[in-house]
Amino acid sequence: MESVLRPLIVIGGSVVITLLVGWLVDLLLRRADSRHHETPLWGLLRRCRPPLQVVVITALLRGSYRATKIDWVRDHRAGIGQVLTLVLIGASAWLVVRIAATVVEASYSRYATATRDPARVRRVRTQVTLIQRVVIAVVTVVAIAAMLLTFPPMRAVGTSMLASAGLLGIVAGVAAQSTLGNLFAGLQIAFGDMVRIGDTVVVDGEWGTIDEITLTFLAVRTWDERRITMPVSYFTSQPFENWSRGGVQMTGTVYFHLDHSAPIAAMREKLREILGDIAAWDGRDWSLAVTDTTPTTIEVRAVVTAKDADDIWTARCAVREQLIGWLRDHHPYALPRVSTAPAALPPGEQWAELTGAKAGRAGRAGHNGSAPPADRGDSKAPRTGRG
């Protein structure tokens, strides 16, 4: 009878104590959350209950499994103790990671609620995300090292490994130069405020939004839903455009190449009317002016503003489309074209003087022995143009 009751007491007692500890901790956290609504930490800490219960039951079993007095447990006590130790280390690492993630998430949520500046919120989000990844990486490495040290052969090898740590460090540093460079570049990006999650950037001619930042790579989501994965060291060594740095509001331009007869004043009034119907325009500023001229066309620039990069793209496309359509339907003469009309001639007296001078030069050329140009018998003006 004792051989049955003793294992039941040990195992059942461990389970009951574990459930009681989990229930008590959850009750305290719920009460703290109900009293402090402004702090989301207590409610988020309730997610740490599963790893806490695993740690508690593993620790209880690790300390009391020999008291079961079961024959197969006595025969394999070394292996069972080793397994329980590994589980306890893994569960402890899980609990530490979960607590760290909860604290980081609670801090970010509280800061995002209290701060109205989206740029600062994205900066803090980038920093806390990378901090969380660093914590997870460190805890994982420490847990794996602790698991390995539980094996006696690994403890014996540890002394020789420490003796050659300097040489191994140099070799590992050379072999992992690019990886370490990306690691430090990720920390530089996080705390140097170079680029943040959610920023609109132009990289290698691709326009997109920063979708993810890790310690080694960075993902850019383009407008057509593609993902461009790049090493973070690129952003510390190559130039790139960050449209969201210093604020998300943007000013966009739309250029038109038109004929010299284009109705600029009417275009300006039409632009004001068009912007009134475009939801992407934020109403801050707009303008239309002639910025350049060539022998055949003029360059007209329309300026619009929007609250972010997505809206400025929408506003520019809408202005370009509607203004071109309006010119095509109401002022087709303003569109650029190839001129084939006769060249404009000087006034009559000036034209007579020019033709008389040409005739005199032609006569002198014939007197000097050169044949005068043949008279075609017409008085039409020369034609110029293309085509």
Per the prediction, the chain carries an average pLDDT of 76
In this structure, is residue 33 part of a structural domain? yes
Query: What does the alpha-carbon distance between residue 332 and residue 372 come to, in Å, rounded to a whole number?
Result: 46
Is residue 233 over pLDDT 50? Answer: yes
pLDDT number for residue 376: 41
Task: Find the DSSP H helices in the chain.
Answer: 2-35, 41-45, 49-64, 71-75, 77-114, 118-149, 152-163, 165-175, 177-192, 234-237, 264-276, 309-330, 348-367
pLDDT of residue 330: 92
**Is 64 within 8 Å of 10 (Cβ atoms)?**
yes
Pick the more confident residue, 340 or 25: 25
> 62 lies in a domain?
yes
- Report the relative pairing of strands 298-306 and 281-293 from DSSP bridges: antiparallel
d(CA 140, CA 147): 11
Look up the CATH number of the domain holding residue 299. Answer: 3.30.70.100
Give a yes or no: residue 107 inside a domain: yes
- What total number of domains does the chain contain? 2
> What 3-state class would DSSP assign to 333?
helix
**Nearest CA among 350, 351, 336, 338 for reference residue 382:** 351
Mean pLDDT of 139-168: 67
Nearest CA-CA partner of 232 in 171, 186, 274, 278: 186
pLDDT the model gives residue 193? 67
Predicted confidence band of residue 70 (pLDDT cuts 50, 70, 90): low
**Token pair of 318, please?**
């809408």
User: Which residue shows structure tokens 């508690």?
Assistant: 56
Is residue 93 a contact partner of residue 47, using CB atoms and an 8 Å limit? no
**105, part of any domain:** yes
Q: Supply 72's token pair.
A: 């197969």
Count how many residues are written for the chain. 387
> pTM score, two decimals?
0.47
103 within a domain of the structure (yes/no): yes
